[in-house]
Amino acid sequence: MANHQGSEGTVLNGANAIAELRAWNLSTTVNMIEDTELGDTWKTKKAGTKEWSGNIDTYWDETDTNGQVMLKEGNEVTLNLHPETAISGATYYTGNAIITGVTRQAAIDGMVEASYTFEGNGALTESIVA
């Protein structure tokens, strides 16, 4: 069974790597549709539409013009989320997403950080790096 260190991961906005990446997460869910009928003694359900969302955590870099600077609330971007290095045969996830929020924080004994939340706009595709 293969496993990977988190330090192998990358996030790209289109073909441009997001600079100063610290962490990212991706969640996928399915909306449930109840189809219980009169006379049923147990609820029954069917899987409905799917959705995806997540966040990207970075050390803030205002010079990352093709990466972090493009991650503004309301912008639609194409995200390529790589859990492992982007080498041939590696699995990654891609899709269009809308940036829904940006948070920046600074602390006296820390780096300035930026977090970006996103929601998928359409399908999320699981692919293999060619």
Q: What is the pLDDT of residues 107-123, one digit of tens each?
A: 999 999 999 999 999 99
Residue 54 makes CB contacts below 8 A (sequence gap 6+) with 24, 25, 26, 27, 81, 117, 118
Q: What is the pLDDT of residues 73-88, one digit of tens each?
A: 999 999 999 998 777 8
Burial of residue 61 (number of CB atoms within 10 Å: 0-12, 13-18, 19+): middle
At 7 the pLDDT is 78
**pLDDT category of residue 32 using cuts at 50, 70 and 90:** very high
**Pick from 127, 118, 114: nearest CA to 13:** 118
The amino acid at residue 6 is G
Please state which CATH number belongs to domain 6-128. Answer: 2.30.110.20
Taking 60 as the threshold, does the pLDDT of residue 1 lie above it? no
Domains of the chain, by residue range, sit at 6-128
The amino acid at residue 36 is T
Average pLDDT over residues 28-54: 97
3-state class of 130 per DSSP? coil
At 118 the pLDDT is 98
Average pLDDT over all residues of the chain? 94
Contact between residue 79 and residue 58 where contact means Cβ atoms under 8 Å apart? no
pTM of the model: 0.90
**DSSP codes, 40-87:** -SS--EEEEEEEEEEEEEEE--TT-TTTGGG--TT-EEEEEEESS---
